[in-house]
Amino acid sequence: MRILELDAGNSRLKWRVSDTDGIVSHGYLANSDDWHQELPLLMGQIGQIDCARASIVSGNERFELLNAEIDRHFNIPLLQAEVKSEWRGVRVAYPGLGVDRWLAMLAANHQDQRADKLVVSCGTAITLDVLSNDGEHSGGYIVPGVGLMKRMLHANTAQLPMVETAASDVMPGKNSIDCINNGILAMVAAMVNTQQAIHKTSHKASYKDRVVYLTGGDGALLKPYIHGECFYYPELVMNGLALAFEDA
C-alpha cells in the first residue's frame, strides 16, 4: 500500500509517500506558493496512492483544497487527524490541543516509553509539551518561533535590522545582527533547559532523565544547546500520523 502523508503547518506543507519498504519520496510546498498551480503538479509526480492522511493546522480552506485535489487525482478521501483525549498511551492535559502537538507526542511516546520527555516543535511558533514516561501530558508552552521573533523586532523597533541569517552561537553578540540572532537562540534554549532544570530539582534526577525530542525547521539549530539527551526528528508529526489512525 502506498500512503501519502501531509503535515500542513503555518509556513509550509510537508509531504511524503511511503510503502511497505519505507519512505519513497518527500518534499514540501511553501504556504506562499500558488497551491492551485503547484498541487496538481505534485499529485502528478508522486504516482498512484492508496491512502492519504494529514495533520492540518493551517485552516479548513487548506484542507478543502487538499481534499479536492487528492479526490480528483486518486479518487480517495483525505483523512484528517483529530486529537483524542487518550490514545496510544498518551493522555492530553486539556481540550483544544493542536493536532500537530498531539501527533508529535504520539510519535515520541511510541519511540521510547521509558523516559519522561520534552517534545519541542521549532516552527513558525515554538511549542513545548511535557510528557511523562507513562504518557501523561502535563501541559506545555507556546511562544513565537525564531523567525517570527526576528520579524517582530524589526517591525516594532526603529533601527533594528531584519536578520535573515541563522544563528550559530548563544554567546553575547558584538554587533546588532549577532545580538539578535544569538539572543533569540539563547532564549529558546533557556526555555527548554529550564524544564530540564525543574525536573532535576523536583525529582533529584539528572538531565538525562528527561529526553528532548525536537522537530520543526529550527530544531537542528537548537539541538547543540540542549542539555542532556536530545534527538531531532524533522518528520515527527508525520511519524505520529500512522499511530493516529492505527487501532489502540
132: enclosing H helix or E strand? none
The CA-atom distances, in angstroms, between 44 and each of 11, 12, 36, 165 are: 23, 19, 13, 35
Task: Give strand pairing partners of 119.
Answer: 129, 213
Can you tell me the distance from the alpha carbon of 88 to that of 107, in angstroms, rounded to the nearest whole number? 10
Tell which phi-psi region holds residue 216, choosing left (phi > 0), alpha (psi between -120 and 50) or beta: left
Terminal Cα distance for the chain, rounded: 21
Q: Which residues are catalytic?
A: 100
